[in-house]
Chain A
Amino acid sequence: KQEVTQIPAALSVPEGENLVLNCSFTDSAIYNLQWFRQDPGKGLTSLLLIQSSQREQTSGRLNASLDKSSGRSTLYIAASQPGDSATYLCAVRPPNSGYALNFGKGTSLLVTP
């Protein structure tokens, strides 16, 4: 069974810092990997999606990398802002699963002014 782990569980940084969130998964047979953002009491918003054949994706200040063979992904946030404060969730999509996603527990990020 696919297990997705995110480290750290919580992170607090001052505004302007660059930071890295980590995600690991136990089964390298994935279709893709996604990073989501969840604001308190809200639904999820997709940030970046990396296909299994890709190594990284970038959107603005966000960069996600994927090393499928080692079962790892990182989300890099450059020049963090207070508006980045949220929970960041990593999810892998296994092949042939009805396209359901396996989520990690998330990293709760607080960026202080």
Chain B
Amino acid sequence: SQTIHQWPATLVQPVGSPLSLECTVEGTSNPNLYWYRQAAGRGLQLLFYSVGIGQISSEVPQNLSASRPQDRQFILSSKKLLLSDSGFYLCAWGSLQKETQYFGPGTRLLVL
């Protein structure tokens, strides 16, 4: 069976510090991978998606970047965090064969 992991679960960072959130998927190959952010009072916003290693599409201009160094690894990064980067970050995977997406447990980020 497939599983998706995210870490850390919770993170408190000062403004201006760097960020690295990691997502890994087990039990499947060549998945589509997604990063979403859920901010207070807002719906889930798609940040990035990837259909293969090194292939990243960005949905909104922002202070964040994403990378996919391995088939089942997806990383969300920032060089300098802003207060507005606070939120709940969710990683998900899907595929051409799977109609739905499967979500990880999320990382709660608080920027102070």
Contacts and interface: CB of A to CB of B under 8 A. Distances in A.
Interface of A: 4, 32, 34, 36, 41-46, 49, 51, 89, 91, 98-106
A34 B106 contact: no
Interface of B: 32, 34, 36, 41-46, 49, 51, 57, 59, 88, 90, 92, 94, 96, 99-106, 108
B69 to A, nearest CB: 19
Contacts, number: 54
- Per DSSP, chain B at the interface is strand
Nearest to A36: B103
Nearest to A3: B43
B51 A89 contact: no
- Per DSSP, chain A at the interface is strand
A49 B99 contact: yes
Contact of B59 (A49, A100, A106): A100
Given A43-B103, A43-B106, A44-B103, A98 B43 contact: no
Contact of B57 (A42, A44, A98): A98
Contacts of A41: 88, 106, 108
B90 A99 contact: no
Contacts of B43: 4, 89, 103-106
A41 B107 CA distance: 9
Contacts of A36: 103
Closest 10 CB pairs of A and B: A43-B103, A103-B44, A105-B43, A44-B103, A103-B43, A46-B100, A98-B49, A43-B105, A100-B46, A43-B106
